[in-house]
């Protein structure tokens, strides 16, 4: 039986071959119907101009050029000469194997890339009622998590170390505070009573914020946590990592815990302010 892929010698097409079998075999390795028609026509001719090939294949010249270019890109035909004497030649059938091997390598690379993307794609997969966790790295990632808080439909509950915030993203927060206030998004913040934290609290009215200053010696914390809508945002300054957890159940629990913390923070603030007098 004639074999199409196991030879590197020039292929000579004869009319007594089973063209239906050849066509099906070529389609099975990924050639389109038109590519098969043009390739088989070129095999029958041995070599030929665009006019000769398209006449043999029963297609127009414009379509023929496109298909020949496609076969050229696959490396299974070649071209010699220049117009008007330019001719196309079918390469040895072994070139089809080389083309398939190259495609397999491309598929392997695409598969590897897809596998690496799965964790990130999973975080974007919006399944109703299913919690999601998104991670953002570096300074730009931290900015992104703060930009998300500007979508809040309610007052933000926050644990915030202003010193770390301003050191982590220099020059970002003054404009952020104005934009948040401009959107009418208020915030309640539990803040360690550092000099910078106290100075920020002095801007509460303008920046639509209520603070509870807590003793820095006991309650200084580094990450900021914002709770709003059905989300919990965490900005880790030491790890340069932003996280947004989207879960109605988790956000509700965190809001209730925050209210307990807020009540105690306001009590502690009284002690802080007394010590400063």
Better-predicted residue by pLDDT, 118 or 13: 118
Domain ranges of the chain: 19-100, 117-276
pLDDT tens per residue across span 159-183: 999 999 999 999 999 999 999 999 9
Structural fold of domain 117-276: Endonuclease; Chain A (3.30.870)
Exposure string of 153-180, with b = 16+ CB inside 10 Å and e = fewer, is: eebbbbbbbbbbbeebbeeebeebbeeb
Instruction: Give 60-107 as a DSSP string.
Output: -HHHHHHHHHHHHHHTSEEEES-TTS-EEEEPPTHHHHHHHHHHHHHH
The answer, yes or no, to whether residue 124 has pLDDT greater than 80, is no
| Mean pLDDT, residues 217-240 | 95
Percent of the chain residues topping a pLDDT of 70: 90
Better-predicted residue by pLDDT, 173 or 76: 173
The answer, yes or no, to whether residue 81 has pLDDT greater than 80, is no
Q: What is the pTM of this model?
A: 0.54
pLDDT tens per residue across span 245-257: 999 999 999 999 9
| Mean pLDDT, residues 6-21 | 48
CB 149 within 8 A of CB 172: no
Q: Left (φ > 0), alpha (ψ -120 to 50) or beta: where does 152 sit? A: beta
Q: Looking at domain 19-100, which of 1.10.1060.10, 3.20.20.140, 1.10.10.10, 2.40.50.140 is its CATH number?
A: 1.10.10.10
Strand ranges (E), the chain: 47-48, 77-80, 87-90, 132-137, 156-159, 187-192, 209-214, 224-228, 231-236, 241-246
């Amino acid at each position: 039986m004639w074999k199409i892929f196991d030879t590197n010698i020039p292929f000579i097409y004869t009319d007594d071959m089973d063209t239906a079998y050849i066509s099906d075999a070529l389609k099975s390795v990924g050639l389109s119907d038109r590519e098969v028609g043009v390739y088989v026509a070129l095999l029958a001719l041995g070599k030929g101009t665009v006019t000769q090939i398209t006449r043999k294949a029963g297609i127009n010249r414009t379509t023929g050029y496109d298909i020949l270019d496609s076969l050229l890109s696959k490396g299974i035909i070649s071209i010699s000469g220049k117009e008007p004497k330019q001719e196309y030649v079918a390469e040895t059938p072994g070139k089809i194997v080389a083309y398939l091997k190259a495609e397999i390598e491309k598929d392997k690379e695409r598969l590897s890339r897809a596998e690496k993307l799965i964790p990130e794609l999973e975080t974007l997969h919006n399944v109703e009622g299913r919690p999601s966790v998104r991670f953002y790295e570096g300074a730009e990632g931290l900015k992104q998590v703060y930009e998300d808080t500007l979508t809040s439909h309610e007052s933000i509950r926050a644990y915030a170390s202003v010193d770390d915030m301003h050191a982590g993203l220099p020059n970002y927060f003054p404009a952020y505070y104005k934009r948040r206030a401009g959107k009418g998004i208020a915030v309640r913040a539990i803040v360690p009573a550092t000099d910078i934290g106290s100075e920020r609290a002095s801007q509460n009215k303008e920046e639509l914020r209520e603070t509870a200053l807590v003793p820095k010696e006991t309650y200084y914390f580094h990450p900021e946590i914002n709770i709003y809508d059905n989300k919990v945002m965490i900005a880790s300054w030491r790890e340069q990592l932003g996280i947004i957890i989207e879960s109605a159940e988790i956000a509700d629990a965190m809001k209730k815990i925050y209210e307990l913390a807020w009540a105690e923070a306001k009590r502690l603030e009284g002690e802080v302010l007394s010590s400063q007098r």
